[in-house]
């Protein structure tokens, strides 16, 4: 969390239109209100700035800014959050202020729930599951089926009923400053709704008690889990800003191995799938995580959607998918990627463009330790494109695509079919990009806004 000297009070600022020059001077994109006729607007009623990424397109993203007092809630428990969210079909604007850390793995009375509670009554046990699907006896040619797999699915369903929070349209969810606001062990599900804002929250410890064994996944099989910290599925006009995403306190290094593969209990941090569209992801911190951001869940998703802007975020201790992009038009700018191994999280790649994705990655900064090749920072399947310039590696201008293509048999394409225009806050000068490690250190993640 930034010290008080770095906080920016929204209540004391007069509204104005933020220019790129102001952002370059140190005011975070989206840190002040854009509506010149609205007067001073507090954090909870703030809307996305004009031209601030894809989520500002069309009707823009206003969340629950029009909520009345009857639909403005302060919540500090799981039960209160569920009540404040209400029915996902209710589109009445609402503002939800999260005070402190909400533990999703609690019952309505606040009692702590464990994996054993979710498994109770289903017949599932990990010992029995491992015995039933040991590749030495079950084989590797088909997914698990039968009594224990049915029990596992039932236990997983019980957990989902408790930790998945379904967000309605026209909703703003904001962490109350100074309270260490966040959600532990839960998932915000933004599905088939429009106009949602999520800000100033720490998402931690989103864990699946009941990963599924898939012997057909890869050469050696894999354990696959459910639950992203925040998941967008068919959602439109979403602004995720000044949040922190982490596996902590249970890091992947603590996961056991079964059948020779890591028993993975974490899925994505912020996934944008199922033809979601018009999304801006700004000034977040992603840390201590493997599969971090998936844009497009399938190579066959239809074209014309999955338009996402990703800017002024910090990615540190991230293994992969920062992001992995499919199909859509994705603008990635002014991000900081520190690919130094952290707590056992060692980089595989940062950005992956596949399934004809049209990615513009420009004016980003990579901190790369000795021993990590620049060619390793990108990935693709031979159909995706990554255009853009002004990227720096350890302060030096570097053509990342050329480095990748020189070492790969599946070249990334270097031209795209679109030109970004929704670029409020874009910093293009070499001096500004060189300053990203310093400037983003105090302007990203939860706990900065006030």
Residue 191: asked if its preceding bond is cis (omega within 30°), the reply is no
Q: Give strand ranges (E) for 160-256.
A: 164-166, 171-175, 182-184, 187-191, 194-199, 202-204, 212-214, 222-224, 230-233, 236-241, 244-246
Q: How far apart are CA 367 and CA 316, in angstroms?
A: 9
**CA contacts within 13 A on the Cβ side of 150:** 4
Exposure class string for 91-114: b at 16+ Cβ within 10 A, else e: ebbbbbbbbebbbbbbeeeeeebe
Q: What are phi and psi of 160, to 5 degrees?
A: -60, -40
Beta bridge partners of 380: 353
Which residues, in sequence order, are CB contacts of 292 under 8 Å at separation 6+?
Answer: 245, 268, 269, 270, 286, 315, 318, 319, 320, 321, 322, 323
Chain centroid offset of residue 239 CA: 11
321 counts as catalytic: yes
Residue 18 is given by DSSP the state: P
Helix (H) or strand (E) holding 353: strand 351-354
Residues 78, 199, 261, 321: which is the catalytic one?
321
Chain centroid offset of residue 358 CA: 20
* Cβ atoms 428, 24 nearer than 8 A: no
- Of 271, 82, 289, the residue nearest 205 (C-alpha): 289
Q: How far apart are CA 188 and CA 228, in angstroms?
A: 8
Q: So which residues are the catalytic ones?
A: 321
């Amino acid at each position: 969390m930034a010290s008080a000297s770095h906080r920016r009070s929204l209540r004391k600022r007069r509204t104005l239109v933020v220019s790129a020059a102001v952002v370059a001077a140190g005011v975070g994109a989206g840190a002040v209100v854009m509506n010149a006729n609205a007067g001073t607007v507090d954090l909870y009623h703030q809307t996305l700035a004009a031209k601030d990424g894809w989520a500002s397109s069309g009707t823009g993203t206003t969340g629950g800014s029009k909520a009345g007092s009857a639909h403005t809630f302060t919540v500090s428990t799981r039960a209160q959050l569920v009540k404040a969210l209400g029915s996902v079909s209710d589109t009445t604007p609402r503002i939800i202020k999260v005070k402190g850390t909400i533990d999703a793995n609690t019952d309505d009375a606040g009692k702590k729930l464990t994996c054993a509670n979710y498994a109770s009554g289903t017949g599932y046990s990990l010992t029995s599951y491992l015995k039933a699907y040991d590749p030495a006896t079950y084989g590797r040619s088909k997914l698990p089926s039968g009594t224990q797999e049915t029990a596992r699915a039932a236990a997983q369903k019980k957990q989902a009923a408790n930790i998945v929070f379904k967000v309605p349209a026209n909703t703003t969810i904001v962490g109350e400053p100074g309270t260490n606001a966040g959600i532990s062990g839960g998932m915000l599900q933004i599905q088939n709704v429009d106009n949602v804002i999520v800000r100033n929250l720490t998402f931690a410890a989103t864990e699946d008690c009941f990963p599924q064994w898939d012997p057909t996944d890869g050469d050696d099989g894999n354990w696959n889990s459910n639950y992203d910290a925040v998941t967008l599925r068919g959602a439109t006009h979403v602004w995720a800003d000044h949040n922190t995403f982490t596996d902590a306190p249970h890091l992947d290094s603590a996961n056991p191995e079964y059948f020779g593969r890591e028993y993975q209990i974490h899925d994505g941090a912020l996934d944008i799938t199922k033809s979601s569209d018009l999304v801006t992801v700004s000034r977040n911190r992603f840390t201590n995580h493997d599969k971090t951001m998936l844009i497009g869940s399938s190579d066959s998703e239809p074209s014309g959607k999955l338009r996402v802007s990703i800017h002024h975020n910090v990615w540190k201790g991230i293994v992969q998918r920062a992001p992995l992009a499919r199909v859509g038009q994705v603008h990635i700018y002014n991000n900081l990627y520190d690919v130094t191994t952290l707590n056992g999280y060692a980089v595989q790649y940062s950005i992956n463009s596949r399934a004809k994705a049209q990615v513009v990655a420009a004016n980003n900064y990579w901190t790369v330790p000795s021993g990590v090749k620049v060619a390793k920072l990108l990935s693709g399947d031979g159909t995706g494109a990554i255009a853009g310039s002004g990227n720096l590696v350890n302060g030096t201008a570097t053509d990342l695509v050329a480095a990748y293509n020189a070492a790969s048999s599946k070249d990334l394409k270097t031209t795209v079919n679109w030109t970004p225009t929704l670029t409020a806050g874009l910093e293009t000068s070499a001096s500004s990009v060189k300053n990203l490690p310093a400037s983003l250190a105090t302007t990203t993640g939860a706990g900065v806004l006030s």
